Structure 1
């Protein structure tokens, strides 16, 4: 899915069944909060596979929170305030296989910062209020 398709999807309100189930999982609090499996690279500040790691310090320091879409193969918008991360993220690592998007607004709206697969970014241009992950 490219950026234009994503914007059409969110503006048109035509969510797929997988996206609706993902949002339903967010509402129940059962989504995205379990830790991902650690990888063999324990020297990486984000030693998890297929996640977006957010850090509350620059240069990948401080508390870390990881997020990924569940179930695998789906995509989702995650509002950070409901997880205690509003205004906290100062650096990020995308350990996923697809782009991750950081948004200035809670509903994955506004102009995002894109993190390519494997990309590290510090400091962030703004403290994101939501992220879109695959």
Structure 2
């Protein structure tokens, strides 16, 4: 499991496949299965772009859960370029239909 989370973040629901608040979880399999990559901005006021190939996640994300109260965006290209695919606050997508190369999170 890979995580980019600030120190002090703790799980809110250990039964959830994405138990951390304010987090975008990307799953290797559809329907929230397989390995998970969890990411959130170190400064939620600013947000950040995360290039997935830099973290070994190129071509791996197939489903997503956004536990944040702000929309996360997935992109076709690195550097958050290539048209955003939004993941609304507190929602999940069981099959992305494409493999994002970057994500924007708050």
TM-score if structure 2 supplies the norm length?
0.90
- Higher-Rg member (1/2): 1
Residues 1:38 and 2:11 aligned together:
yes
TM-score if structure 1 supplies the norm length?
0.72
Q: Which residue of 2 aligns with 1:71?
A: 43
Contact 2:10–2:20 under 8 Å retained in 1 = yes
Give the ranges of 4+ consecutive aligned residues of structure 1 lying more than 3 Å apart after TM superposition: none
Unaligned runs of 5+ in 2: none
- Higher share of residues assigned helix: 1
Q: Which residue of 1 aligns with 2:72?
A: 100
Contact 2:5–2:42 under 8 Å retained in 1 = no
CA distance in 1 between partners of 2:103 and 2:17 (Å): 19
Number of paired residues? 102
Residues 1:47 and 2:19 aligned together:
yes
- Higher share of residues assigned strand: 2
Give the drift of 1:37: 1.7
Give the drift of 1:113: 1.1
**Cα RMSD (Å) of the superposition?**
1.4
Higher relative contact order (CA 8 A, sep 6+): 2
Unaligned runs of 5+ in 1: 1-31
